[in-house]
Amino acid sequence: MSRDTLGEFEHMVLLAILRLGGEAYSVPIVLELEERTGREVAQAAVFIAMKRLEKKELLTSRMDDHAVKETGRVRRYFQLTEAGREKLRETREALVSLWDGISTQLDRA
């Protein structure tokens, strides 16, 4: 397990991939994020974040050779690794334990 914690954006990207079935490329991820957060997301930022996560071994990637042949489009698909899923779990637990018992306070304030 890595000592690094996830940045917010990285966290969101990983969740989006998970929502899209554990493997996705930048276009659906951007749309997913925009739909869920209501904010415009820079595609290059998503792409670069995933490259960074790949370096941290939370993602692996492959070029989609099929798409190149079929449509002439080049796509890089990123897939959650086991370490990635573990990281998400860890982060969720940390956040849940932090949130424990304070959501009512926040809503009242």
Partner 1 sequence: MMNRIFTWAARRILGRADHLALSSEMEELYQYRLARDGKHAADRWLRRERRRAVGHLAGIRAADLPDPEPPQPLTTTPTLRLRETMYNMIRELRSSLRGLARTPIFALTIIATLAIGIGGATAVFSVINAVLLEPLPYPESSELVRISNHARGQDWVFSVADYLALEEQQTRFEGVAAMAWNRATYASGEATERMLVHSATPSFFSLLDLRPEYGRTFTAEEGEPGAPSSALVSWGFWNREMDGDPAALGRTIRLDGQDVTVIGVLPRRAGPLLADAEVVTALQLAPPARKGPFFLVALGRLGEGVAPASAAAELRTINERIFPLWQDSWPDQETTWAMTGLKEYVVGDVGATLLIVLGAATFVLLMVCVNSASLLLARLMDRRRELAVRTALGATRGQLMRHLLTESALLSIVGAGAGLLVTVSGIRLVTAFGADFIPRTNEVGLTGPVLLFFAVAATASLVLFGLFPSLRGTGAGVARDLRESGHGAGTVRSASRTRGLLVAGQFAVSVPLIVGGGLLLASLTKLANVDPGFDADRVLTMNVAVPNDRYPSAGELSEFWRSLLTEVRSLPGVEEAGVGTGRPPSEYPFTNNFVLEDQPLAPGETQPTVPWVVASPEYFHALGSPLVAGRMFDRTLDDPDPDFIVLVDRAWATRFYDSPEGALGRRFRAGGCTGDDCAWFRVVGVMENVKYSGLNGTSQGVVYMNADQAPNRNSFLVVRAAPDQDPLGFIPMVRNLIRQAEVEAAISRVASGDDLLRADLRVPRYLAILVGSFGAISLLLAVVGIYGIMAYYVRQHRRDIGIRLALGGEPGNVIGLVLKNGLGLVAWGVTAGLVGAVILTRFMDTLLFGVEPTDPYVLGASLGTMALVAIAACWGPARRAARVPPREVLAEE
Residue 30 near partner 1 by CB under 8 A: yes
Amino acid making up residue 21: G
Cα 26 to Cα 13, 58, 70, 100, 106, distances in angstroms: 10, 16, 19, 33, 34
Residue 31 near partner 1 by CB under 8 A: yes
Residue 74 near partner 1 by CB under 8 A: yes
Residue 62 near partner 1 by CB under 8 A: no
Which residue in the set 13, 15, 26, 33 belongs to the binding site for partner 1 (CB under 8 A)? 26
Which residue in the set 4, 22, 42, 93 belongs to the binding site for partner 1 (CB under 8 A)? 42
Work out how close the CB of 46 gets to partner 1 at its nearest, in angstroms, rounded to a whole number.
Answer: 9
Nearer to partner 1, 47 or 85 (CB): 47
How far apart CA 77 and CA 95 sit, in angstroms, is 28
Give the three-class secondary structure for 1. coil
